[in-house]
Amino acid sequence: MTLREVWWSTPKSRHVLPYVQRSLTAPDQLDGNCEIDPNTGVLFRETFLGYYLPESLKPFDALLPILDDIKAIIAEDWALVRVPIFGYEPQPGDPPSAFYTDLWLGSYLMNNENLAINHGEMVVVHYIGTDDVEFMLGGDNPNPPFTDSYTRDMTKHFYFEEQLGYIPVFISMDLNQYEDGDKPTEVALFIDEVCKGAAVIKDGEIQLNAYITNSDDLSDDLKEVEFRLYFPAKSASSIVPEYAVFNLQTGVYESKTARVSDFKGFLRVQLTKTGDVLPPAATQLFQNYPNPFNPVTSIKYDLAENSPVRMDIYIVRGQLVKTLLNQEMLAGTHSVIWDGKDGQGRSVSSGVYFYRMSLPNKVLTNKMLLLK
């Protein structure tokens, strides 16, 4: 069921006066309906708002009274998300909004499209304010700046199943790298050979709605994300061989393959024709994810330069369990999977394990916990 179907299935919604005051309740840690932003640790409440005005308004005009205290606006066809401040360290008394910049992500904004909320539609807002609030859609302006209605263009060559919720994927690409007459017109996201969302390419900034549902199987979080482009000149689609994923902790793009676990509220990627992405500034070993885990986990590492790499798993007493990797690797961001089995293919028991990355000039070690 889509947001629009939810809206029209609510009987009372057709009888609400156009300029009724709307209410938002502050998030509460004890309320199970509230969530924590995985990128900032800020508590927020997801609230559905019906739009009753007779004509369309741009999102920022419609929600102007609460704009400083929301971090995301999500409609059926589009989403706008505030960018967190990288490495922000809170000070006593800082409001939740201090964790976010004034920059909003949204391909529709960057492409100057006439994005709007239309009569009869519903939008979701992520409210981070510390107080309950009441406001009027469009503010106190007796003559709101109404605009033309907005309709999203639908893809014709990639097919997917829409669901109630989606995760926005903000895609950047340089269309000038393609010759005239050979430019892609659609982009799609695939997981396990299944299309999970697609979008029309109008400009270099695209929003793709990824219809990814939650799963109890942790191994689903480790599934890789594949992007495909459709080229009308060839009447065919092709896989994007390499792309970069924006790291919200460092504020830089990393050359890597995204996994389902990377979808933390939204995903920001950069598609390149050649795969030319700057290598990481330093070689480092990251904490495995998930941790604790059962029985599959992913170990990510950065290489500042080409190097032979060996990745070993050990028990606490120092006995080798399994060698996951032992080969020459290119500079970039990489990951390796451990399925909780030893070198003979036997499942190991619960406990603390160490993973060690050995290079010619350094050795990096970290620990992880397997729970069954």
pLDDT, tens digit, 9 for 90 and up, residues 199-209: 999 888 899 99
On the question of pLDDT at 2 being above 50, the answer is: no
Contact (Cβ atoms closer than 8 angstroms) between residue 82 and residue 109: no
Burial (CB count <10 Å: 0-12, 13-18, 19+), residue 132: exposed
- If you search the block for the tokens 């024709």, which residue do you land on? 273
On the question of pLDDT at 7 being above 50, the answer is: no
On the question of pLDDT at 3 being above 50, the answer is: no
Contact (Cβ atoms closer than 8 angstroms) between residue 54 and residue 62: no
pLDDT for res 5: 43
pLDDT band at 305 (very low <50, low <70, confident <90, very high): confident
pLDDT for res 215: 55
- 220-229 pLDDT, tens per residue? 778 889 999 9
Residue scoring higher pLDDT (103 or 161) = 161
Residue 283 carries which side chain, given as an amino acid letter? T
CA dihedral 337→341→343→346, nearest 10 degrees, is -160
H helices within 57-202, ranges in order?
59-62, 107-110
pLDDT for res 33: 86
pLDDT band at 345 (very low <50, low <70, confident <90, very high): confident
pLDDT for res 205: 87
Q: d(Cα 167, Cα 265) in Å, to the nearest integer? A: 6
DSSP-based three-state secondary structure for 99: helix
pLDDT for res 20: 59
pLDDT for res 112: 59
Per-residue pLDDT, averaged over 346-371, amounts to 94
45: Cβ contacts below 8 Å, ≥ 6 apart:
24, 25, 26, 27, 28, 31, 33, 34, 35, 126, 127
Per-residue pLDDT, averaged over 239-263, amounts to 84
pLDDT for res 335: 75
pLDDT band at 311 (very low <50, low <70, confident <90, very high): very high
Q: How far is CA 323 from CA 187, 288, 296, 311, 371, in A?
A: 38, 16, 15, 6, 21
pLDDT for res 201: 94
Contact (Cβ atoms closer than 8 angstroms) between residue 253 and residue 244: yes
pLDDT for res 63: 93
Q: d(Cα 147, Cα 358) in Å, to the nearest integer? A: 60
Contact (Cβ atoms closer than 8 angstroms) between residue 332 and residue 279: yes
Residue scoring higher pLDDT (186 or 331) = 186
pLDDT band at 12 (very low <50, low <70, confident <90, very high): very low
pLDDT for res 73: 95
C-alpha 131: how far from its chain's center?
A: 28
Percent pLDDT > 70 in the chain is 89
Among 249, 250, 206, which Cα is nearest to 111's? Answer: 206
Q: d(Cα 227, Cα 196) in Å, to the nearest integer? A: 10
pLDDT for res 281: 74
pLDDT for res 10: 40
Fold of 284-370: Immunoglobulin-like (2.60.40)
Q: How far is CA 250 from CA 96, 106, 245, 336, 337, in A?
A: 20, 20, 11, 21, 23
Comma-separated ranges of CATH 2.60.40.4070 domains in the chain:
284-370
pLDDT for res 188: 96
Rg (CA), the chain: 23
pLDDT for res 44: 97
pLDDT band at 273 (very low <50, low <70, confident <90, very high): low
pLDDT for res 17: 42
Q: What rounded mean pLDDT belongs to the chain?
A: 85
pLDDT for res 294: 83
Residue scoring higher pLDDT (330 or 301) = 301
143: Cβ contacts below 8 Å, ≥ 6 apart:
none
Contact (Cβ atoms closer than 8 angstroms) between residue 192 and residue 222: no
